[in-house]
Amino acid sequence: MAALGSVLCVCLLLGHLFDRALLGDPGCGALERGGRGLALGLGLAGGLSMACDTFGLGVTRVTVGAAVALVLLLSLVACVQRTTPRAHGDGRGRLAGLSARELALVLGLLLLAAVGVGVAVRSGWIRPTLQFDAIVRWMWKAKALAVHETLLGPLSSDPAFGFTHQRYPPLISHVANLVQLVHGSYDDRLQSAIFPWFAVATVAMAYGAVARRSGALTGALAAFWIAHLPLLSYAMAPPPGAGAASAMADIPLSMFVLGAVLAVADALDGKRDRAHLELGLFLGFAALTKNEGLPFVALTVALVALLGGRGSVRRALGVGLVGAGLFALLWGWVAAGLPATDENYPAQLGLATITVGFGRLGTILPRLGMSMLDIQAWNVTWLAVLTLLAGSVGLLRRPGLRLIVLLLALQLGTYILAFMVTAWSSPAAELIAETTGVGDVVGTLMNLTADRLLMHLAPAAICAALIAAPVRLTRAG
């Protein structure tokens, strides 16, 4: 526990100081600062570990420790030297101005939100890695880092290990390995216990950002809602499990997606200085977490260029340079030389394949709808999000909110495109398709993955819906 606690404290300090030094203090509350600090810190620490590996230094206590210490020191010096500007704000997030009833509701929802993430944190502490993909993709690479002090050895180059999907970006494997660097030996349960803390950062960021824009009550509802998503907090099914304690990359990706979405909204609405820089960082971390982060980078850059107002092209280029540059520098050029043993979706994006894929929409769209309506997995989340957004169409004139909604919709569209062109198969899926005549391989794949893909977008969608439709106890005005 001391090793895990140390890593979390260092990540929190690293992210917070970096945030204050480079990105500016937006005048927000402690929870949001803490959440964003932890999110940035996990990304930065994992990224520094990746840098040590990519540039041949080896992933050891000395190299990673020195890199983290250097960034900490530079951030501290920068913090001391600069006077951080107060960002815009109207005090709506502050608890002091609330009535007794509102304060009770806010504190109650935050306490229940703590229970939700607390369940995930406890599960992460107790359960060894169970999920199949978590074992063969992420934790295997974390073990390889512990054993070889690099991922660029036999695990990456030997095609026999292709089932680990060698080209998948390994940021979270590096984050899990941080615990081993402190602890001194590999322990599956200990290292996988860091994963629920991505959810903790997600909930804290969501509360603070929504509270700043829509009031503390709405912020508390956002925190509660996300913390009690079944697939985040406690559900071990539907397969293959997307929960925060599952040592999968979906919750970490959803955290970086949320960070990026909140940063882009703050940037376009003029709420914070240097939010574009933070956006670029979160985009880079998203791309280093899962392949799904790469189209997210491209879509964000394109939408910022199109909808970002004055100077938008210049800003979009800057965002793209940071986000895509981070990915290219730390992993892109390495992955280009590794065996292509994964599904290799970019290679499927031909006109012929896409044209044929239109025939799959009759399976894809209904199943996606069924996933969204599945109460066991989502409660009433997607119905509620769509209802709140549908009733707030006029507010979509706000550039930040409009961009978020478009971005999430387009990202969902890329997932639909992936299902259209996928060459994935398994003998069981083919057998089911052959013997029943009603299911098909894509349907089986969707049963396994649709909920995880929706989880990437869920926290951001919830925040967007609540920013568009704040909850008030009394009528406004």
Please give the residue ranges that form the binding site for another protein (CB under 8 A).
Answer: 109, 112, 116, 119, 122-123, 126-128, 130, 132, 135-136, 139-140, 143-144, 147-148, 160, 163, 187-189, 221, 224-225, 228, 230, 233-237, 239, 375-376, 379-381, 384, 387-388, 391-392, 426-428, 430-432, 469-472, 475-476
Q: Smaller CB distance to another protein: residue 178 or 469?
A: 469
Smallest distance, another protein to C-beta of residue 81, A? 44
Which residue, 260 or 441, is less far from another protein as judged by CB? Answer: 441
* Closest distance to another protein from the beta carbon of 475 (Å): 6
Cβ 87 to another protein, closest distance in Å?
27
CA-to-CA dists, residue 22 to 141, 295, 413, angstroms: 32, 26, 34
| Cβ at position 9, least distance to another protein in Å | 24
Distance of closest approach, residue 335 Cβ to another protein, in angstroms: 21
Residue (16 or 213) nearer to another protein, CB: 213
Minimal distance, residue 264 CB to another protein, in Å: 24
Q: Residue 94 and residue 35: Cα distance in Å, rounded?
A: 17
Nearer to another protein, 143 or 402 (CB): 143
Query: Could you tell me if 263 and 204 are in contact, meaning their C-beta atoms sit under 8 angstroms apart?
Result: no
- Shortest distance, position 268 Cβ to another protein, whole Å: 24
Q: Which CB atom, from 225 or from 285, has the smaller least distance to another protein?
A: 225
Residue among 50, 53, 48 at smallest CA distance from 66: 48
d(C-alpha 345, C-alpha 130), whole Å: 27
Burial class (CB in 10 A: 0-12, 13-18, 19+), 76: middle
Three-state SS string across the chain, please?
CHHHHHHHHHHHHHHHHHHHHHHCCCCCCHHHHHHHHHHHHHHHHHHHHHHHHHCCCCCCHHHHHHHHHHHHHHHHHHHHHCCCCCCCCCCCCCCCCCCHHHHHHHHHHHHHHHHHHHHHHHHHHHCCCCCHHHHHHHHHHHHHHHHHCCCCCHHHHCHHHHHHCCCCCCHHHHHHHHHHHHHCCCCHHHHHCCCHHHHHHHHHHHHHHHHHHHCHHHHHHHHHHHHCCHHHHCCCCCCCCCCCCCCCCHHHHHHHHHHHHHHHHHHHCCCCCCHHHHHHHHHHHHHHHCCCHHHHHHHHHHHHHHHCCCCHHHHHHHHHHHHHHHHHHHHHHHHCCCCCCCCCHHHHCCHHHHHHHHHHHHHHHHHHHHHHHCHHHHCCHHHHHHHHHHCCHHHHHCHHHHHHHHHHHHHHHHHHHHHHHCCCCCHHHHHHHHHHCCCCHHHHHHHHHHHHHHHHHHHHHHHHHHHHCCCCCCCCC
Query: Between residues 67 and 464, which has the closer beta carbon with respect to another protein?
Result: 464
Query: How far apart are CB 244 and another protein at their closest, in Å?
Result: 12
Nearer to another protein (CB atom), residue 116 or residue 357: 116
Quick one: 161 or 415, whose CB is closer to another protein?
A: 161
Closer CB to another protein, 147 or 313, in the complex = 147
Least CB distance from residue 141 to another protein, whole Å?
10
Report in angstroms how near the CB of residue 27 gets to another protein at its nearest: 26
Q: Are 451 and 218 in contact (CB under 8 A)?
A: no
What residue type is 159 in one-letter code? P
Q: Which is nearer to another protein, 131 or 300 (CB)?
A: 131
CB of 215 to another protein, least distance (A): 12
Q: How far is the CB of 259 from another protein (least distance, A)?
A: 23
Q: Based on CB atoms, which residue is closest to another protein, 20 or 165? A: 165
Q: Between 66 and 236, whose beta carbon lies closer to another protein?
A: 236
